[in-house]
């Protein structure tokens, strides 16, 4: 497809881009991310009943948790993408298109979460009202800050006993330097969640939204709306306390400012209970009103110039949403449905209009391929997508050798910067329990390696049947084994190896490093030479004795 054809109608593309809101939900484990994801879909009327019902004993698996391991443990260990339309009450015109990416909360899957954060325009930071800020929340906030992602803060589980609301605000300011600006303030202390005080732009309470409970919180909670005077008469001291706290914050300057929000200096604040569906549509309304629509994305002009021979100044440094089609792959996933033995490459549309069947180019290899099989995904459910626009998430089926961080484009060449890899800290060997399953083992290993479930390291001494897995956290090994068994019917065995630290090396340094006691050299699937060291003291000793050898951290620049 030519440049002209690929970008012939910039006005419709811009209109469609303005409708999109693409965001991730980030939090510490068990803060309620998947429950909130279900609740948001429920309020958009794309499901009839929330998947999480009151009480752990009666808990159903949420739509976004599709792995058996996720259902069994009640946690998310893989990111999932959901797309649906939503129109706030009183909204005129076409509804908004919501692209919601639910992320794994467990620290062992930080790399998967980081990849997701490269594909969204904003984040919802979910905080447990009883626990406040937790280590994983802090880590993910720093990633959002580094990427310039605006953050909307939601204090969840307000129907349970917890901290004081002003205490939580102080904690956020103190711990991460982010100023919450309340849009909806809770009426009733934690554990006695009666409703929300809607605040004006100046932070003044202008309406009381009273929520009514439903059976198990499985349906949308009805609302009653009252004026401040009616709220004072109805709730007496509880409303007065909420109004006083909100006005106190407003007097201290904690009011919404769009520029400060987009600069990640402030964060709109909402209190909610995802389990009871209290405050959920207020979250959706806030995302539609305040979250940024898709915008331009920085490209990697040096790589493009080197590949195409173009002279300096002829290659775009920024891809505008109205430019010819381009997308970036942020996740590759197989085994989402046992009836479809295929691999899905999740791609964020960056620019232009994507049309199913269009011919696109894989920037990393220079190869062209057709996008005949393109899907939108809602949990495990999939449907064919005919076209998509900036901000949308599209699953490309069996799209060659696509890997996380790869660029696909039509028309003018573009390549986006690669995704950095996290340095692995855990290492174990992996082998098939039965030698008769070797072929299936190899196939499964190659597939899961390409998805980035773990990094696979090989050398001649160990052979292909006994590679070493390198991971950010030990739960990644459990996922690897569980998927080997459920998707490929291969039972596997893992064993510990005496290594704690990995470094990137080169062909010139590898022979000498391999002669060092407590050091072993491997080749990673992407061709990089990796040296594993017994511990940090061993690494420090070798660095001191052989300062001329290459031993670089595995995190990409």
**183 three-state secondary structure:** strand
What dihedral do alpha carbons 421, 74, 489, 457 form, nearest 10°?
20
Nearest CA among 347, 462, 295, 436 for reference residue 101:
347
For the record, the structure tokens of 443 come out as 């196939």
d(CA 83, CA 149): 20
**103 known ligand binder:** yes
* 408 contacts 401 by C-beta, under 8 angstroms: no
* 268 contacts 290 by C-beta, under 8 angstroms: yes
**184 three-state secondary structure:** strand
Non-local (6+) Cβ contacts of 354 within 8 A are 325, 327, 371, 374, 385, 387, 388, 389, 392, 394
What's the distance, CA 459 to chain centroid?
A: 33
Instruction: Tell whether the torsion through CA atoms of 375, 376, 377 and 383 is positive or negative.
Output: negative
d(CA 532, CA 497): 10
* DSSP conformational letter for 64: T
Non-local (6+) Cβ contacts of 177 within 8 A are none
Which residue(s) pair with 369 in the sheet? 360
Which residue(s) pair with 347 in the sheet? 329, 394
* 82 contacts 379 by C-beta, under 8 angstroms: yes
d(CA 30, CA 15): 37
**226 three-state secondary structure:** strand
Decide the pairing of beta strands 266-271 and 151-156: parallel
Instruction: Tell whether the torsion through CA atoms of 387, 393, 397 and 401 is positive or negative.
Output: positive
The torsion angles phi and psi of 195, rounded to 5 degrees, stand at: 175, -165
**112 known ligand binder:** no
**12 known ligand binder:** no
**54 known ligand binder:** no
Strands of the 205-211 sheet, one edge to the other = 80-86, 96-102, 20-27, 122-128, 151-156, 266-271, 179-187, 195-199, 205-211, 223-226
DSSP symbols for 491-530: -EEEEE-S--EEEEE-TTTHHHHHTSTTEEEEEETTS-EE
The DSSP element (H or E) to which 486 belongs, if any, is helix 475-488
Decide the pairing of beta strands 468-471 and 426-432: antiparallel
For the record, the structure tokens of 311 come out as 């002279």
**314 known ligand binder:** no
Residue stretches of the annotated binding site for GTP? 102-106
- State the binding site: 102-106
């Amino acid at each position: 497809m030519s440049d002209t054809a690929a970008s012939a109608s910039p006005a419709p593309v811009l209109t469609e881009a303005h409708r999109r809101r693409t965001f991730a939900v980030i939090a510490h484990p068990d803060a309620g991310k998947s429950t909130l994801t279900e609740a948001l879909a429920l309020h958009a009327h794309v499901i009839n009943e929330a998947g999480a019902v009151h009480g752990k004993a009666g808990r159903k698996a949420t739509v976004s948790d599709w792995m058996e391991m996720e259902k069994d443990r009640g946690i998310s260990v893989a990111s999932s993408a959901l797309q649906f339309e939503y129109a706030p009450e009183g909204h005129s015109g076409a509804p908004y298109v919501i692209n919601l990416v639910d992320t794994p909360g467990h620290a062992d899957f930080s790399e998967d979460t980081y990849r997701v954060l490269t594909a969204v325009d904003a984040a919802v930071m979910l905080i447990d009202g009883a626990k406040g800020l937790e280590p994983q929340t802090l880590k993910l906030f720093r990633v959002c800050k580094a990427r310039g992602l605006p953050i909307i803060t939601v204090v969840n589980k307000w129907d349970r006993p917890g901290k004081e609301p002003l205490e939580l605000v102080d904690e956020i300011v103190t711990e991460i330097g982010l100023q919450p600006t309340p849009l909806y303030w809770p009426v009733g202390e934690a554990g006695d969640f009666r409703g929300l005080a809607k605040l004006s732009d100046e932070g003044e309470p202008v309406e009381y939204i009273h929520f009514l409970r439903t059976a198990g919180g499985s349906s949308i909670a009805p609302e009653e709306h009252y004026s401040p005077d009616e709220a004072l008469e109805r709730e007496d001291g509880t409303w007065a306390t909420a109004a006083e706290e909100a006005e106190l914050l407003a007097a201290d300057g904690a009011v919404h400012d769009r520029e400060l929000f987009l600069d990640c200096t402030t964060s709109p604040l909402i209190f909610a209970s995802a389990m009871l569906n209290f405050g959920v549509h207020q979250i959706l309304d806030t995302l539609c009103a305040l979250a940024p629509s898709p915008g331009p994305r920085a490209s990697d002009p040096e790589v493009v110039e080197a590949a195409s021979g173009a002279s300096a100044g002829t290659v775009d440094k920024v891809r505008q949403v109205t430019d010819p089609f381009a997308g970036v792959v942020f996740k590759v996933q197989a085994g989402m449905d046992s009836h479809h033995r295929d691999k899905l490459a999740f791609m964020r549309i960056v620019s232009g209009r994507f049309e199913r069947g269009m011919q696109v180019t894989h920037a990393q290899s220079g190869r062209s391929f057709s996008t005949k099989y393109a899907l939108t995904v809602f949990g495990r459910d999939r449907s064919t997508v005919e076209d998509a626009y900036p901000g949308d998430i599209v699953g490309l089926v069996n799209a060659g050798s696509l890997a996380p961080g790869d660029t696909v484009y039509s028309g003018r060449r573009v390549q986006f910067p690669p995704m950095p890899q996290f340095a692995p800290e855990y290492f174990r060997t992996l082998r098939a329990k039965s030698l008769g399953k070797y072929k299936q083992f190899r196939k499964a290993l190659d597939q899961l390696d390409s998805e980035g479930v773990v990094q696979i390291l090989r050398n001649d001494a160990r052979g292909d049947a006994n590679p070493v897995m390198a991971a950010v956290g030990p739960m990644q090994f459990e996922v690897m084994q569980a998927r080997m068994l459920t998707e490929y019917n291969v039972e596997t065995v893992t064993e510990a190896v005496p290594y704690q630290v990995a470094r990137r090396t080169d062909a010139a340094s590898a022979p000498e490093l391999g002669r060092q006691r407590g050091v072993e050299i491997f080749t990673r699937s992407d061709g990089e030479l990796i040296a594993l060291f017994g511990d940090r003291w061993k690494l420090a000793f070798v660095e001191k004795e052989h300062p001329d050898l290459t031993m670089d951290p595995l995190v990409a620049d």
